[in-house]
Chains A and B, each alone.
Chain A
Amino acid sequence: MAGGKERRRNFVNKKTAPYIFLLPMIVLFGVFMVYPVIKSLALSFYDFEGGEYLFCGINNYVTMFRDPVFWKSLGNTFIYLAIQVPVMVILSLILGVLVEENFLKFRTCYRISVFLPSVTALVAYAMIFKLLFNTDFGLVNHFLRSVGWSGVDWLNSVWGARAVVIMGITWRWTGYNTIIMIAGLKGIPTELYESADMDGASFLQKFFRITIPMVKSIILFVSITSTIGTLQLFDESFVLTKGGPDNATITIGHYLYNTGFSYYKFGYAAALSYALVIIIGILSFVQFKATNGGDNS
């Protein structure tokens, strides 16, 4: 029986199929990812001086460990990570569950409203946020003053600027993650909820005993991509705060960009990027292990 099928489909069979399905992506990865990445790794051992790349061994990595801005950007990134990622993951899960409530009217309206920020171009949203959080003329301070608080110097104070960056990322990305959560929630068989209902389970019981375990792999997915996204954060720091004041909001991605594309230290920038790769790798591994791989068994 199996032999007959294999003769008919001797080219695309169970053995060759995965390779054929993967082939286009392997080619794309080879040309547009592996090659430039290896080339950049080589660059990290070179110094760009006087129009030439001069081999400098691990000098760039040594400089990096002594560079206060590198450590500061690392610290900032972890502040964002520690505050923003958990908040966003929890928010998007709650939003996903609420939006999928059976009794909800105007479901589509809510879903669209929440998702809409993630379709906004970076320049657009940064411009809008900059205007809204302006110290003297922004609506946010206008509102704060009208309810009797003094305004906050949002973009020019250390924690004000950090808060705006965190609010910005959360505003922009929560809706997107909500949609991914919904995709996962949709995969939960309704029978599970129905039998729980028959057992008289409360909403919260169902949430913790059915919903969360069933979408564990999606939660993991959202956490990992958000973590990686935060570590690579560039746009928000670049456009909203320019990394200031006194590097209080600069991210590794932003410092890397400055180093390479502003100061022309391409080798050093490549070294920074590989430090970033290692940090992301470690964090993702820890997250993956902490949630037991996320595969539902």
Chain B
Amino acid sequence: MKKKQAAALVTAAVMALSLTACGGSGGAKKEASGDKEGALSGEITIWSWDVALAHLEEWAEKFQEENPDVSFNFEEMGVDQVYQKMTTCLQSGIGLPDIVSIEGEQMAKFGEKFPGKFEEFTDMINPDDFFPIKLSECTVDGKVIAYPWDSGPCGMFYRSDLFEQAGIKAEDIVTWDDFIEAGKVLKDKTGADMLCMAESRNDTTYRLLMMEGGGFYFDKDGNTQVNSEASIQAMETCKKMYDAGITFNNSSWDDMVAGMGADKFACIADAVWMVGSIKDAVPDQDGKWAVMPLPKFQADSESQGASNGGSVLAVPSASKSAEAAKAFVKYVMEDVDANVEGFQNYGLYPSYLKALESDVFKEGDEFFGGQKIFDLFTEIGKTVPQVNYTANFAEALEMSKNSMAKVMLNNGDPTEVLNAEQEEMKAKFGK
């Protein structure tokens, strides 16, 4: 078993190297992978969703050109469905796929709750090739058990036309206080709200602000710290914006999209994948959008970036074709062309730094008035500090949503609410 794995590793490494190096004509590679010792074969079942699945399907065909003995079987399902099925399958050890898409933040839960059930990539992956935050999503107990894929560095999307109408200059907004003051002006002049922020449906705004201040639900060791200074500061800022009456309640994705179309708000603080969503939702607002970094808490403080979303690929150990599956994962994740195409065709923003150096990411985007937005996101992505998501991320997220609701809807005091949340989490998570 070990020998086989080692052989596969070597083959995969060689192959991936040659692929990234020349990215094309396959004569030499065919010989390499056609070698009897290391020939890849087997049937690979992949569970994924939406555009990620479509992209993997396209690259599976290319992979098959080099590895004719590998066959693929794609199962499309929604994110929730993937998790539901993973739960029962991991429990019984039966029916697992060979490759599965998992949201980055959720990976630690699978890794911690089911140790040893996922193939390790520790020796296959060069940690310096990826955004640090994405690598921490894939790492459990010091082992890399998934491959980082698309990433979610966050910025502030804003409507340049509405800003102009209200006489606001983006470069004048340095701190969150500036942002709130500008918001009041905007509301006054245009009637639009400054920021699209959920009051209870999600905790994105709070979580991004918390990460920006260097905090998270958990510390490096996975201990709860939701009443940390960074966390309280984030919640207080959210409340300040809410109390100023400059927020649009993001009560569902559809409401947000509809609100966008009806000019109900000017800004969204979220990840780079929002680029595609905005273009999809409001194609007629071409040229009216721009991006800036998230405002800071103090003008002179150094801001850390924030991240939200993005997925990873994992290979369950129960796979009968684990070698081929791992080779395929590395192949797609570390091919510059694959990353570029995934971005161009489906808006999957890579976490693979070599791919991010491609020209596509240096160009201006017409929809954003020609602004070079992707450069900005890449720089933010590099600054996002690593955090420990732990097995309890999903539950912590749920509890934080409720804290948002308590603070916004019931006018709760941020410190008190977060102290209570800290106690509840400690009781439930035991740390």
The residues of A with any CB-CB pair to B shorter than 8 Å are: 48-51, 63, 66-68, 130, 134-137, 153, 155-158, 242, 244-247, 258, 260-264, 266
Contacts and interface: CB of A to CB of B under 8 A. Distances in A.
B114 A51 contact: yes
A264 B201 contact: no
15 contacts: A51-B116, A134-B254, A136-B259, A137-B258, A156-B201, A157-B409, A244-B201, A244-B401, A245-B201, A245-B405, A246-B402, A258-B395, A261-B84, A262-B398, A264-B113
Nearest to A243: B398
Interface string B103-128: 00000010011111100000000000
Interface string B32-53: 0000000000000000000000
A50 B115 contact: yes
Provide the main secondary structure of the chain B interface: helix
> Which of A48, A156, A157 counts the most B-chain CB atoms under 10 A from its CB?
A156
B251 A156 contact: yes
Contact of B427 (A66, A136, A153): A66
A130 B401 CA distance: 20
Interface in B73-95: 83-84, 87, 91
Contacts of A48: 113
A156 B200 contact: yes
B83 A261 contact: yes
Interface of B: 83-84, 87, 91, 109, 112-117, 199-201, 249, 251-252, 254-255, 258-259, 391-392, 394-395, 398, 401-402, 405-406, 409-410, 424, 427-428
Nearest to B427: A66
Provide the main secondary structure of the chain A interface: loop
B396 to A, nearest CB: 10
Contacts of B258: 136-137
A245 B255 contact: no
B424 A263 contact: no
Given A51-B115, A264-B87, 13 more contacts: A49-B113, A51-B117, A134-B254, A153-B249, A153-B251, A244-B405, A245-B402, A245-B405, A246-B200, A246-B401, A260-B87, A261-B84, A263-B395
Contacts, number: 78
A156 B109 CA distance: 29
Nearest to B392: A263
A41 B427 CA distance: 23
Given A48-B113, A245-B405, A247-B402, A263 B87 contact: no
B87 A261 contact: yes
Given A156-B200, A246-B402, A264-B87, A50 B428 contact: no
B77 to A, nearest CB: 14
Contacts of A247: 402
B308 to A, nearest CB: 18
A153 B91 CA distance: 40
A67 to B, nearest CB: 7
B258 to A, nearest CB: 6
Contacts of B391: 264
Contacts of A157: 409
B394 A263 contact: yes
B91 A246 contact: no
Contacts of A262: 83, 394-395, 398
Contacts of B402: 244-247
Nearest to A260: B87
Contacts of A66: 427
A134 B201 CA distance: 14
A125 to B, nearest CB: 17
A242 B257 CA distance: 19
B357 to A, nearest CB: 38
A68 B258 CA distance: 35
A135 B255 contact: yes
> Which of A63, A242, A244, A260 counts the most B-chain CB atoms under 10 A from its CB?
A244
Contacts of B394: 262-263
B401 to A, nearest CB: 7
